[in-house]
Amino acid sequence: MISRLAYTFRETWASFRRNMTLTVAAIITSAVSLLIFGLTLLMQRGFDNLLVKWEGGVEMIVFVGSNANDEQRAEITNALDAQKPNLIESYRYCDVECSLDEADRVLAGDPGVLELLTAENVPTQFKVVPTDATDVDTLRLLRESLREAPGVQNIALAVEELDTIAKLKGFVGLYTLILSIVLLIAAVLLIWNTIRTAMFARRREIEVMKLVGATDWFIRVPFMLEGLIHGLLGSLGACAGLWLVNNRWTAGVQDFPDNSGFEAMVVPGSFTGVVMLGLLGIGMLAGAIGSGIAASRFLDV
Amino acid sequence: MIRIENVTKTYGTDVVALRDASFDVPKGEFVFLVGPSGSGKSTLLRLLNRQDRPERGAVWVAGRNIIDMPSGRVPQLRRNIGNIFQDYKLLLNKTVAENVAFAQEVIGKPKHVIRQQVPAVLDLVGLAGKEDRFPHQLSGGEQQRVSVARAFVNRPLIMLADEPTGNLDPATGEGIMRLLDRINKTGTTVLMATHDQRIVNTMRKRVIQLDRGVIVRDQARGVYE
Ligand SMILES: Nc1ncnc2c1ncn2[C@@H]1O[C@H](COP(=O)(O)OP(=O)(O)OP(=O)(O)O)[C@@H](O)[C@H]1O
Ligand SMILES: [Mg+2]
């Protein structure tokens, strides 16, 4: 068992050194592809943060001041009910707890502001789903009529806040995803080719091994290990890159103007950690499986 | 030990390498395969360790028909068969001892067994003292001895030799033959394909002659002709 392990690692290392150029190319390609894939996930998450308060067809949010009393809230409810079903299809009240939860996500990049929010001072929200979301003029009129109601602090319309964001998300998300998949395929092909070259260089040994009765798995495992290490090194590179980019972004966002809205696009460290683990998993799996298939395919040399 | 039953092996559509060949080799026998170039000798040897499969017929090795043997069992079959080739097939980046040990390492023999058996078999083939040389530092005959040692170190039941003396001068070839004879006397069944008339005629073992894939002669204590 020990000698077998020693054998495996010796062979893997020797093959690694023999194919330096191809190996490095395979590792760099897998690193870049996984990095782009990871960035796509982080960006999506950032956009989702921006969009989270508008989930479920909500087009208008009525923010209610924390000092409003029950009577004032009832009045707003009545005003909204009066427009059902002609203008308003439905609405949902997001209470103190719900609003704090949402702030946790939206303001992740702005811990200073987040800390100032408490159950006493957080504005609550009426989330309004209009009957016809495309009729912007009517929505604006509705806002005017509600603005003067007592207790209302502010009214936000989705069209004004996130039209560009939603478009940007669709565009960026799709193209970076395609790019990362194309690159990942390139990485697997490169690993495949590296393994093929490695096996060709050792075809005589493989022939002898087969003749004296080594099992296919015994022959295959060092090559799979090699592919797994390529994938691992590539994904480690991707993780380092991701960490760097995310750190620069988180730090950079603090310098943006206060109302840019970008602070919502900061992704919490825990999510970044999950993405990194995912990249490591994909990298190692793609490397091991790719080289395993390549090894089986060329075992007849 | 070996039984070939009505074996036909073709390559492509028109090359018939073996045609309806049948014979039987009991344990411990020594058999020469002779015949002109292209008559099917190497093909026959390749069928015996499942490097190839025939279209028709049965190939029995150590009591098993190996034609429909699942590929997972083939390694086990090959551990019972030693192979020697005209071109030695040594690994050039390994020393003599490493080449022999390799055949044990890759089938998972424990280190202490390897440490004990490799020197013993190198001693048997007359290479004691040359363990640390590389193949390019050996004569052709010595290289073939290394390959015999590698084939024999796992004590196979059967030894397949494809023109093992083809690249050697007569005296050196005779040395290899004495070695194969000794191995045969330990009970190992030996099948050897050869063009070497002198060797066949002096050893007087069983001779199976092939011509264009057909067995045309099977003679005990035979000669080359
Ligand atoms: N892999 C292959 N593909 C196609 N034809 C083959 C293959 N191997 C052998 N043959 C053909 O099968 C026939 C028998 O070949 P084989 O190698 O068994 O002959 P042989 O008796 O060993 O000859 P030699 O004495 O020259 O070694 C020949 O016609 C050869 O061309
Ligand atoms: Mg031949």
Question: What domain count does chain A have?
Answer: 2
- Write the CA distances from B216 to A176, B39, B42, B60, B202, integer angstroms: 71, 11, 16, 21, 21
Q: Which domain holds residue A94?
A: 59-157
Quick check: A208 and B105 CB within 8 A?
no
Instruction: Note whether A167 and A278 are same-domain residues.
Output: yes
Residue B206's CB is within 10 A of a number of other CB atoms, namely 18
Binding site membership of B194 for ligand 1 (Cβ less than 6 Å): no
CA A3, chain centre distance (Å):
43
Q: What is the pLDDT of residue A301?
A: 47
Instruction: Note whether A186 and A39 are same-domain residues.
Output: yes
Instruction: Note whether A293 and A203 are same-domain residues.
Output: yes
Instruction: Note whether A271 and A196 are same-domain residues.
Output: yes
Question: Of A76-80, A156-160, A225-229, B35-39, which has the strongest mean pLDDT?
Answer: B35-39
Which residue of chain B has the CA closest to A1? Answer: B108
Instruction: Note whether A191 and A232 are same-domain residues.
Output: yes
Instruction: Note whether A142 and A168 are same-domain residues.
Output: no
Query: What's the token pair of residue A138?
Result: 């009517």
Instruction: Note whether A219 and A153 are same-domain residues.
Output: no
Q: Which residues of A touch B89 (CB under 8 A)?
A: 204, 207-208, 211
Q: What is the pLDDT of residue B43?
A: 96
Nearest to B102 among A4, A208, A218 (CB): A208
Judged by average pLDDT, the poorest of A163-177, B5-19, B192-206 is A163-177
First to last CA, chain A: 27
Of the candidates A132, A157, A182, which is a domain's last residue? Answer: A157
Look at residue A56 and tell me whether its pLDDT is greater than 70.
no
Q: How far apart are CA B92 and CA B99, in angstroms?
A: 9
| pTM (predicted TM-score) | 0.73
Give the 3-state secondary structure of chain A.
Answer: CHHHHHHHHHHHHHHHHHCHHHHHHHHHHHHHHHHHHHHHHHHHHHHHHHHHHHCCCCCEEEEECCCCCHHHHHHHHHHHHHCCCCCEEEEEEECHHHHHHHHHHHCCCCHHHHHHCCCCCCCEEEEEEECCCCCHHHHHHHHHHHHCCCCEEEEEEHHHHHHHHHHHHHHHHHHHHHHHHHHHHHHHHHHHHHHHHHHHHCHHHHHHHHHHCCCHHHHHHHHHHHHHHHHHHHHHHHHHHHHHHHHHHHHHHCCCCCCCCHHHHCCCHHHHHHHHHHHHHHHHHHHHHHHHHHHHHCCCC
Instruction: Note whether A92 and A223 are same-domain residues.
Output: no
Interface confidence (ipTM) of the complex: 0.90
Nearest to A203 by CA among A219, A192, A224, A188: A219
Quick check: A213 and B83 CB within 8 A?
no
Quick check: A214 and B75 CB within 8 A?
yes
Interface of A with B (CB under 8 A): 2-4, 7, 204-205, 207-216, 218-219
pLDDT tens digits, one per residue of A234-286:
999 999 999 998 888 877 776 766 555 666 677 777 788 899 999 999 999 98
Of the candidates A119, A134, A157, which is a domain's last residue? Answer: A157
CA B47, chain centre distance (Å):
12
Q: Which residues sit opposite B161 in a β-bridge?
A: B84, B192
Which residue of chain A has the CA closest to B147? Answer: A208
Distance B190 CA to ligand 1 centre (A): 21
3-state secondary structure of B126: coil
Of the candidates A141, A157, A173, which is a domain's last residue? Answer: A157
Phi, psi (deg, nearest 5) at residue B68 = -105, 25
Phi, psi (deg, nearest 5) at residue A32 = -65, -45
Instruction: Note whether A33 and A141 are same-domain residues.
Output: no
pLDDT tens digits, one per residue of A136-188:
777 788 788 777 777 777 787 776 766 666 777 777 778 888 888 888 888 88
Judged by average pLDDT, the poorest of A25-39, A155-169, B68-82, B183-197 is A155-169
Mean pLDDT across B137-151: 96
Nearest to A3 among B49, B71, B105 (CB): B105
Mean pLDDT across A85-106: 80
Of ligand 1's listed atoms, the one at least distance from the Cα of B18 is 14
Nearest CA to ligand 1 atom 9: B43
Instruction: Note whether A66 and A92 are same-domain residues.
Output: yes
Nearest CA to ligand 1 atom 4: B11
Instruction: Note whether A7 and A23 are same-domain residues.
Output: yes
Give the 3-state secondary structure of B133-172.
Answer: CCHHHCCHHHHHHHHHHHHHCCCCCEEEEECCCCCCCHHH
Q: What is the pLDDT of residue A162?
A: 66
Judged by average pLDDT, the poorest of A47-61, A174-188, A226-240, B120-134 is A47-61
Helix-strand-coil percent breakdown of chain B, rounded to 5?
A: 35, 25, 40
Nearest to A212 among B71, B72, B103 (CB): B103
Query: What's the token pair of residue A112?
Result: 């200073």
Quote the DSSP letter at residue B114. Answer: H
Which residue of chain A has the CA closest to B103? Answer: A212
Nearest to A209 among B71, B72, B106 (CB): B106
Average per-residue pLDDT for chain A: 81
Q: Which residues of B touch A211 (CB under 8 A)?
A: 49, 78, 83, 89
Instruction: Note whether A216 and A267 are same-domain residues.
Output: yes
Residue A79's domain is classified under what CATH number? 3.30.70.3040
Quick check: A208 and B89 CB within 8 A?
yes
Residue type, A282: I
